[in-house]
Chains A and B, each alone.
Chain A
């Protein structure tokens, strides 16, 4: 379902994307494309993006993540970002970018519980 850098899994009505590699610019663009293509293809009710593996989220990556959530919403899919690390959260708010409008959860289970179901 993806070009191999970022695994996209189907969990019931939802898509689970686990970001493990550093999202430098080209990877970030490919990530967004792959995720949106999967959303389009599956018509998933929800999209979970697990960022536990990211130790650095600069304004570029934060924007890619929140834009992806907005784009998915336009396609009728709700997004929850899970696993933001303490140092990443602190850095983002210190920079003045708290990703407004983006829903968040502590872990994948809780993220899944927040998402609607199509059935």
Chain B
């Protein structure tokens, strides 16, 4: 499956306000791609969780929000990239309920359940890249 990128916005994630900006961008692009109200809420919430993770665990990074198309499908892809500490125990972090920040440990596992495609590349000391896609359903 080849994914065509129709439009791309890259933003810095360095402050709380940036998290809001990324979230709004995700919402606007999802709306423009014809996602349902439910799908828009899902991808916007995932944007919020993943951007906040960059801020909380890596202090800074970037987020890109893309309008994408593939096989006649319309969607939104987001990539969150940082050079932070990386995730040492990925299976545990993905299982949910695990947090190194004394939080609920919901963000990563929750976002994964909200999107159609979820990919994560991370290693201790090597930063983290999370890529997610949400497709419009007919």
Contacts and interface: CB of A to CB of B under 8 A. Distances in A.
B113 A94 contact: yes
A97 B97 CA distance: 11
Nearest to B111: A95
Contacts of B96: 96
Interface in A77-107: 85-88, 90-91, 94-97
A26 B16 contact: yes
Interface string B55-73: 0000000000000000000
A60 B17 CA distance: 15
A73 to B, nearest CB: 19
Interface of B: 16-17, 19-20, 23, 27, 37-38, 40-42, 44-45, 48-49, 52, 96, 104, 106-107, 109-111, 113-114
Contacts of A85: 41
Interface stretch (A3-11, A33-41, A51-59): A51-59
A110 interface: no
The DSSP consensus for interface residues of chain A is helix
A86 B38 contact: yes
Given A24-B16, A58-B45, A95 B114 contact: yes
Interface residues of A, number: 21
Contacts of B104: 59, 63, 97
Nearest to B40: A87
Interface string A8-45: 00000000000000101110000000000000000000
Given A56-B48, A60-B52, A96-B96, A88 B106 contact: no
Nearest to A22: B20
Nearest to B52: A60
Contacts of B114: 91, 94-95
Nearest to B20: A24
A88 B114 CA distance: 12
A45 B85 CA distance: 47
B44 A95 contact: no
Contact of B42 (A59, A86, A91): A91
